[in-house]
Amino acid sequence: MSLTTSPVSSRTIRIGSRKSQLALVQTHWVQAQLQKAFPDRTFEVHTMSTQGDKILDVALAKIGDKGLFTKELEVGMLNQDIDFAVHSLKDLPTRLPEGLMLGCITDRENPADALVVHEKHKGKQLDTLPEGAVIGTSSLRRLAQLRHHFPHFAFKDVRGNVITRLAKLDAGEYDGLILAVAGLERLDLGDRVDQVIPAEISLHAVGQGALGIECRSDDAEILTILKALQHQPTADRCYAERAFLRELEGGCQVPIGVNTVLKGDALTLTGIVVSVDGQKVVKGEVSGAAADAEALGIQLAHQLVEKGAKEILDEISAAVR
């Protein structure tokens, strides 16, 4: 599809968002950036609650992950109630419904995981927390990698938005939480980060730190508008990560971690698959041209399958059914 002309329509652009504080901060940032780029246009934010927002008493992995935080927004786009939706890219499934596409990927914030500790542990990091420390996370990826490195911790599921989770930590329900650095920084809570967890301990989620804007694939006007926010270096890294996850047929709630480094036109992608108990680890790395990002992701997936990744993922899938 050729998208060379500037949009001239006067239609009001309706932006879809989840209702959580972080989702709204991210969506209002997108709204502000587009308003700067297109001052003559009107951009409205419309909020919706997703299944993942409503079910807070069940571990994410047991609910099912396909579209957990995106389906209602996608229905809104297909019904033309909204024109596009702003997602944390890590929440966006790698296979999108027919008629929808990833319109752009924004400049990435720090994609690493963060440790936030209770005030009684201030100054401590993962390797100095006491044996039996209760660590809260809702992510199988974080859980599996941390169990591998710190089997002496007690891990406890934690649900709710970032503010709710921090309140539970401060109330003493946990000794520490694992959250995304990017989410904390976007909420102006970067001062709560006690440790940016290195990649040697926890590879981050696919797409973590970037925003993915999903839209109808036949809406040339919206696709042209969204080009203003496309950050190609981030997109190259995330296309590689998403292809890796898609090829492994993994969803958001599986213990698959990644790390991508882009130097010039050279992209290096590292991936890991870990059993939930942290005992089995399969890891690999590929490098190549950023222009071949998706092919590199597929190549890495095949490499890990040869090392036994499929068996780990099949075991996990059977256990959470």
* Residue pLDDT, tens place only, 173-227: 999 999 999 999 999 999 999 999 999 999 999 999 999 999 999 999 999 999 9
Residues facing residue 274 across a β-bridge: 281
Which letter does DSSP use for residue 194 in this model? S
CB 288 within 8 A of CB 296: yes
Q: For residue 58, what pLDDT is reported?
A: 43
CA proximity to 177, closest of 118, 218, 228: 118
The closest of 318, 312, 244 to 279, measured between CA atoms, is 312
Distances from the Cα of 278 to the Cαs of 143, 151, 228, in angstroms?
Answer: 8, 8, 42
Please give the pLDDT value at position 48: 86
Strand order in the sheet with 266-274: 256-263, 266-274, 281-289
251 pLDDT above the threshold of 70: no
Give the three-state DSSP class for 272: strand
Give the Cα separation of 225 and 302 in Å (integer). 36
> DSSP labels for 175-190?
SEEEEEHHHHHHTT-G
pLDDT at 6: 43
Amino acid at 2: S
Cα–Cα distance list, 103 to 83, 217, 226, 294, 298 (Å): 11, 8, 6, 16, 21
Q: What is the helix (H) or strand (E) element at residue 104, kind and residue range?
A: strand 100-105
Give the up-direction half-sphere exposure of residue 153: CA atoms within 13 A in the CB hemisphere.
Answer: 28
Q: Shortest CA distance to 222 belongs to which of 24, 93, 96, 34?
A: 34
Average of pLDDT values for 17-24? 93
Q: Is the pLDDT of residue 2 over 90?
A: no
Question: Is residue 35 very low, low, confident or very high in pLDDT (cuts 50, 70, 90)?
Answer: very high
Model confidence at 232, pLDDT cuts 50, 70, 90, reads: very high
CB-facing half-sphere around the CA of 262: CA atoms within 13 A: 19
Answer whether 85's CB lies under 8 Å from 213's CB.
yes
Tokens 């914030």 sit on residue: 109
Q: Distance (Å, rounded) from C-alpha 175 to C-alpha 152?
A: 13
Candidate list 91, 113, 219, 236, residue with the active-site label: 91
Beta strands 113-117 and 195-196 are: antiparallel
SS3 breakdown of the chain: % helix, strand, coil, rounded to 5? 40, 25, 40
Q: Which residues contact 142 (CB under 8 A, 6 or more apart)?
A: 113, 178, 202
Residue 19 is classified by DSSP as S
Phi-psi region of 209 (alpha: psi -120 to 50; beta: other; left: phi over 0): left
Task: Let me know how long the chain is.
Answer: 321
User: Which of 188, 175, 203, 202 has the alpha carbon at shortest distance from 116?
Assistant: 175
Contact 43, 15 (CB under 8 A): yes
Q: What is the pTM of this model?
A: 0.89
pLDDT at 317: 80
* Annotation marks residue 107 as catalytic: no
